[in-house]
Amino acid sequence: MLSDAFGREVTDIRVSVTKRCNFGCVYCHDEGLGPVARPRSPHGEEMTVAEIERLIGVAREFGIRSVKFTGGEPLVRDDLEEIISRSVEQIPDVSLTTNGSMLEYRAEALRDAGLKRVNVSVDSIDPVAFRSIRKGGLAPVLRGIREALRVGLKPVKLNMVVFRPTLDNIPRMIDYVGATDGLKLQLIQFMPELVAHREWMVDIDAVRKWLEEHATRVLIREMHHRHVYFFRHVEVELVDPVYNAEFCSNCHRIRVTHKGELKGCLNRTDDLIPTRGLDDDGLRSAFRQVITTRMPYYGGYVTDYPSRSSLGSLLPMVPARPGV
Ligand code: SAM
Ligand code: SF4
């Protein structure tokens, strides 16, 4: 297993298979790579199945234990099942993050291909609010979630971005997740770094405090030291990376863009290492390079950013709701 200069072992790889998407979320950072492309736009630059398979093979050689496929919207690719089946032969722990809009018709085939788990992004269970944030319909997404549960892709984690338009809905979302067996909730702090709109930010420390006060139990995961809060049987994970030194110092993940460039940090685009055309030894040295040069704390890349503690009192808080 390889570690970076800050002692962080790399155990996890997140692979974007496309920049295309059929939604248009108002906050989308597309893995830090700018606006997504329309589903039918030219996509000749996307990695082939064979290129992805080779990358995953080298990742396994370096002791990487889990793979997550993402995008853009990974389900715009018709060959995602094949990508997954070739990947699980190298690294069995393969999961997927999707907007869920096409999951209804693919969940079974994805499971058969070897997919272990799925995250589905659901910022609101109100169809009007959902559409205004994601520019797509909620109903097919909910059907996709039901189908994923039916075929045994459990647990299904619902990703909810926490920003001004969703903040008040956290208690309602916890209730929703608690009403269906097999669901978990992942609250993701809105990351404004590469999409602007800092005014959408909320005081995530206040959200954390609210969760601590209402939860019956709290766990801390190794990855990013993410906190997991239990509301009786409902599991709620908080992913709060923005200016969070503890998060960065426990980051064990590298990334790959849809063009096959290795990437050391979600929030950086100045550290991309192309791998196209490299032979196996070249690919191994590209892996060593991305791992040995990766930097925590934004790598000094985002410099004009307020520190987290200075944001606190200026931002709105999640509404009190005893008894959740
Ligand atoms: N299209 C898929 C989806 O929406 O789930 C996968 C790709 S999307 C880039 C991966 C996750 O990042 C989604 O859960 C999305 O809500 C989240 N995300 C996108 N932009 C974000 C931002 N600016 N801040 C926080 N999370 C964001
Ligand atoms: Fe971005 Fe995912 Fe939304 Fe598409 S569905 S716009 S990739 S967050």
> What are the residue boundaries of the structural domains of the chain, listed by start?
12-310
- Exposure of 182 by Cβ count < 10 A (0-12 exposed, 13-18 middle, 19+ buried)? middle
Topology of domain 12-310, per CATH?
TIM Barrel (3.20.20)
One-letter amino acid of 164: R
Closest ligand to 124 CA? 1
Structure pTM? 0.92
126 closest CA partner among 176, 188, 185: 176
Tens digit of each residue's pLDDT (9 = 90 or more) over 171-210? 999 999 999 999 999 999 998 877 778 899 999 999 999 9
Closest ligand to 190 CA? 1
The answer to whether residues 68 and 18 touch, using CB atoms and an 8 Å cutoff, is no
* DSSP assignment string, 274-285: --TT--HHHHHH
pLDDT at 316: 45
pLDDT mean over 40-55: 95
| Residue of 76, 80, 121 to test ligand 1 pocket, by largest number of atoms within 8 Å of CB | 121
pLDDT above 80: residue 149: yes
More confident residue, 195 or 253: 253
- Exposure of 207 by Cβ count < 10 A (0-12 exposed, 13-18 middle, 19+ buried)? buried
User: For the chain, where are the E strands, in sequence order?
Assistant: 12-16, 66-70, 93-98, 117-121, 156-162, 183-189, 217-220, 227-231, 234-239, 253-256, 262-263
99 Cβ closer than 6 Å to some ligand 1 atom: yes
Which of 129-138, 208-217, 296-305 shows the lowest mean pLDDT across its residues?
Answer: 296-305
| Residue of 21, 26, 28 to test ligand 1 pocket, by largest number of atoms within 8 Å of CB | 28
